Each structure stands twice: as C-alpha cells, then as structure tokens.
Structure 1
Amino acid sequence: MEVHLKIIGVLLMALASIHVFFPKYFSWKEELKSLSLINRQMMTVHTFFIAFVVFLMGLLCLTSATDLTQTKFGRTIALGLGFFWATRLIFQLFVYSTKLWKGKTFETTIHIVFTIFWIYLTSVFLRTGLK
C-alpha cells in the first residue's frame, strides 16, 4: 500500500500544480467580469487554497506513506482522506452536469480519467484506513 500512497503523492502534487493554469484555460478574466470584486477574488483565493491543500496531501503521502499505513494516527488520517475523496467521486458522478462532457471527446476523456482517479484515491485511502 505504501507504493500506492507514494504514487498518489506524486499525482496529487501534479494535480495541484495544474491549478495554476485554470484562470487562463477557463477564461476567468472574461468569464468572471460580471461578478462582484469579492466573488472574483474568492474564486482565485479558493482555487489557490484547494491547490495548496491537494499539494500538501500529496506531500504527506509521498513523505509519510509508512506512517499512514503503520500507525493508528496515520490510518485515521487515511480514513479521513478516503471519505474526502469518496465525496469528491460522488460529486464527479452526480453533481456535475453531463452537459459539460457528454458528446465532447476531450471533456469525456477528462471525465473518465478523473472518475478513475477519484476511485483509485478513494479505494487506496479507505483500504489503508480500514486496515
């Protein structure tokens, strides 16, 4: 399981890093113009902190895989992360509209890849936490 946690660590750190490109890719400068200043800044700040937390989760997995698998405290953290990613998986499947990806090759591919990724994260963390 430690190998999987280290792989997850690298993948989460990569995921966090791509958040840097979100504002340009999603045309936030143009798309968010109609929002108030506070709402525009909340999008930026929240995106930063989501990326930061995801990066730190990755760093934790990469540097502390042994502790996560072999200590009660580590398994408790892993269980919590398992519930976190299970919730993210539920949102992927039931909250995002299928209109965002259905019938669009690139978006469908991304939807499938991230669904598989959330399943992987959920299963590794829950298996580690429930061990």
Structure 2
Amino acid sequence: MQTLVIICGVYSLGFAGFHIAFWKLFGWKKDLGNLRFYNKAIMQILNLRLIYVFAFTAAVCFIFPRELATTALGKTFLAGNALFWLGRTIEQFIFLQHNSRMVRILTGIFILGFILFLLPVIF
C-alpha cells in the first residue's frame, strides 16, 4: 500500500503542475481581463491555493507513505483526498455540462484520483 500512496503523491504533483499551467493553457491573461477585478483575483487566488494543496498532498505522500497507509490519521487524510476527487467528479457534471473528449478524459482522471486515494483506506 505504501507504493500506492507514493503513486497518489505523483498524481497530486501532476495536478499541481497542471494548475501551474492554467494561465497559459486557458489564456487567462486575456480571458480573466473580462472579469471584474475581484472575480479575476478570486480565480487566481483559488488556483494558487489548489497548487499549494496538491503540492502539500504530494509531499505528505512522499515523506510519510507508511504512516498514511497504516495509521488512522493517515487513512483519514487519504479518505479526505478521495472525497475531494469524488466531489470534483460530481462537480464536473454540475458545472461543466459539455460533452467533449477532453471533459470525458478529465472526468476519468478525477475518478482515478478517487480510486487511488480510496484503495489504501479500504485495504
């Protein structure tokens, strides 16, 4: 299970990198300029906080894989992350009702995150 926890760390680190690229990937310099200043700030602040959360989660997975896989506190941390990804999957259907290949791929990746973080909790 410790190996699976390390994989959860890699998964989280990948999402930190993905969110770092949001400004360029989604043309935020131009698109966010169309928002009111506070909405523009909120979008960027939330994204920066997500980068921190993903990087922190990755670090905890890399530094404490045994503890995460074997202790109640560790399993609670992993279960919380599993619920994060389950919630993110559900929100995908609520807020991004767009049937495109990329949306389907991302939905699958979010489901993968739910499963990855849940497996060490239940086994």
Q: TM-score range by the shorter chain?
A: 0.7 to 0.9
Unaligned 5+ residue runs, structure 1?
Answer: 102-107
Shift in Å at residue 94 of structure 1? 4.2
Match of 1:124 in 2: 116
- Give the count of matched residue pairs: 123
Distance, in Å, in 2 between the alignment partners of 1:92 and 1:34 is 23
**1:1-131 to 2 correspondences below 5 Å:** 1-99=1-99, 101=100, 108=101, 110-131=102-123
Percent identity reads: 25
User: TM-score, normalization: structure 2?
Assistant: 0.85
Unaligned 5+ residue runs, structure 2?
Answer: none
Larger radius of gyration: 1
Ranges of 4+ aligned residues in structure 1 off by more than 6 Å: none
User: TM-score, normalization: structure 1?
Assistant: 0.80
Q: 3-state SS of the aligned residue for 2:79?
A: helix
Q: 3-state SS of the aligned residue for 2:34?
A: coil
Over aligned residues, Cα RMSD in angstroms? 1.9
Shift in Å at residue 19 of structure 1? 1.9
